[in-house]
Chains A and B, each alone.
Chain A
């Protein structure tokens, strides 16, 4: 495990609900980001794509802290949106990903080349697995519109491959029945794989949020662990395999500044 800052141990206590064997084995907090984050994606454990209302940025997390490698303004004129939303698709093997914000008129395809971001293409909608028409934002809002096979017509507050949060904050999974075992979550979502996902909470506004680690079971959702977080979780991204994951959260502080919380999770046998 890479050295993580012990000073941040207090920021995230592991005093959540009694879990099975899922633990945070390391965590760190970055310095403030230069702009509010709408979504995150991980190219590798230490390369983080941050989507804001105006731009997509590529950060590197390492011994020197958080370094901005590249930042590209989103194409086209931006429309004002009071509470904007944004989606990044997971990166493919070539380092390409799509980005869409509710302030932009089109989706944009980027590729990571070395330490740089390059705009490759644009489209009127965000290509999304199981959505023949792609996804768009309802004008002026952060509602995601577009039918997704097995998840319904939307609109959604958040989408992840095989997962969505409906407007009433209900978590939907492509393998889950719509009745029974309903779970309300916030509008930040990340799939960890292996039947595990991370979500922000549907709590009332306040100075704290809760990170939920949720397992899918035959009966529905099971909240395996909860962790209090100082601030509001605005975006999540994760990568990993089998029993270890890196989870990154964009957290909005009470004063409006954003930072990233970097967590290493492990499921003990």
Chain B
């Protein structure tokens, strides 16, 4: 989602669009046109990919379907897998494919499709895949190129078993990653919509998939139109050329974190005191006030994922020197300018360079400013994903391992709060603000919502007659 909202209108932060029962509806039929900042199809439009940010996951969510989805609390919900069961003290999980599960060419989905898709997923760059591979029997070797993968086994036509090295909390959560979608041997998807007319980078028409596992979507189809300029999207909505616009003030929820990532292995931030000074110099309330709907960050994750109480260093020891700051191109310029000013006032002569948001995440830089939302909206996986962005103290890794081994939800949450705290204490990851994902829709468009990762969900959208 582009965050260059640049508008004075305040967001109505309503959280999830409340799915009130409709007096008339939901109704079938009709098509919607949705304006989005960009349409990311990956190298092959028919294949799932690892989304770089929430907005990029949109097409994947429309075209593809995984074995499970996640409930807001992080527990798995049926998707292509209708049910699952645990054995061997929680080390074996067998998922049963829904007999109604079909690929877009109407081929029934079988366990072999799930196994092949899991093998593809486990070799992807998805952070959730990294986590699952580490937990699976033979998963680590498989990621390095081994052919054998004893941890994934299609035991018959309908069931696939995951074998873990040790029992794990929420072991199926990584399967909710868009990159874990199940595809056919020829790349056919199984999501609620079938892509029919992609114009790379600018337009994508999709038709309702009549045999989707949760039932045909309510719409007959939809068209995504890429309009990077928010003013253009807004004008198109006003003119009636668009029915739904992503990133526009309307319905929103806090899903992304603005992070300053400092490299503790390189100057000038190899000294903890300098990282403390930077963390203290950046006033979160002031930064959040610059963006409608944003809030000062308390922890690393959006509060609906993990609510924490935090304190920040108050000492502002001056630092002198030069700083090259890498800024992801989806960070609002208002914010990056303010941050550069604060760092300069601290004594750092700062030069900011804007780079593509995906490049910024992996770039090696003494300091980088990124807008981050989790690949999978589950706090344990989200914190692990964050921990991969910067060298983290051993204590943080130990906290995350302890949380993964803890089955009790309350005790696990307490361990995750501790891990969040340890990750922040090192000041390699400095959360500044939490940001809203948002959308606006014209009157009469119903059922559109945002998922916990901020991705627009259109499969339950409908048009009031």
Instruction: Give me the interface of A with B, judged by CB distance under 8 Å.
Output: 77, 79-84, 139-143, 157, 167-169, 185-187, 200-210, 231-234, 252-254, 256
Contacts and interface: CB of A to CB of B under 8 A. Distances in A.
B23 A81 contact: no
Contact of A80 (B18, B22, B24, B215): B215
B84 interface: no
A111 to B, nearest CB: 30
B212 A201 contact: no
B216 A210 contact: no
Contact of B218 (A83, A187, A234): A83
Contact-residue size bin, chain B (C-beta under 8 Å from the other chain):
20 to 34
Given A79-B100, A140-B210, A141-B28, A232 B215 contact: no
Interface in B144-189: none
Report the 10 A-B pairs with minimum CB-CB distance, sorted nearest first.
Answer: A232-B21, A140-B216, A82-B215, A205-B22, A203-B23, A80-B215, A252-B21, A209-B23, A186-B24, A141-B28
Nearest to A36: B21
B272 interface: no
Given A203-B24, A205-B464, 7 more contacts: A80-B100, A81-B216, A83-B28, A140-B215, A141-B28, A186-B23, A232-B22
A80 B210 CA distance: 10
B23 A202 contact: yes
B406 interface: no
A82 B21 CA distance: 14
Contact of B24 (A200, A208, A252, A254): A200
A143 B216 CA distance: 13
Contacts of B211: 140
A169 B24 contact: yes
A205 B464 CA distance: 9
Contacts of B210: 139-140
Nearest to A143: B28
Interface of B: 18, 20-29, 99-100, 210-218, 446, 460, 464-465
A84 B24 CA distance: 13
A209 B22 CA distance: 8
A134 to B, nearest CB: 21
Given A200-B23, A205-B21, A82 B464 contact: no
A208 to B, nearest CB: 8
Contacts of B214: 80, 82
Nearest to A102: B215
Nearest to A138: B28
17 contacts: A80-B214, A80-B215, A82-B26, A83-B25, A84-B215, A139-B216, A141-B216, A186-B23, A200-B23, A200-B24, A201-B24, A203-B24, A204-B464, A231-B21, A234-B21, A253-B21, A254-B21
A156 to B, nearest CB: 12
Contacts of A207: 20
Given A82-B216, A204-B464, A167 B21 contact: no
Nearest to A83: B26
A140 to B, nearest CB: 4
Nearest to A208: B23
Contacts of B213: 80
Contacts of B218: 82-83
Contacts of A209: 21, 23
Contacts of A167: 27, 29, 465
Contact of B217 (A82, A187, A233): A82
Contacts of A187: 24
Nearest to A103: B215
A205 B23 contact: yes
A210 B23 CA distance: 8
Name the residue in B27, B28, B212 with the highest tally of chain A Cβ atoms < 10 Å from its Cβ.
Answer: B28
Contacts of A82: 26, 214-218, 460
Nearest to A168: B465
Report which residue of B18, B25, B100, B214 has the largest number of chain A beta carbons within 10 angstroms of its beta carbon. B25
A142 B28 contact: yes
Contacts of A79: 100, 215
Given A79-B100, A141-B28, A169-B465, A206 B216 contact: no
A77 B82 CA distance: 15
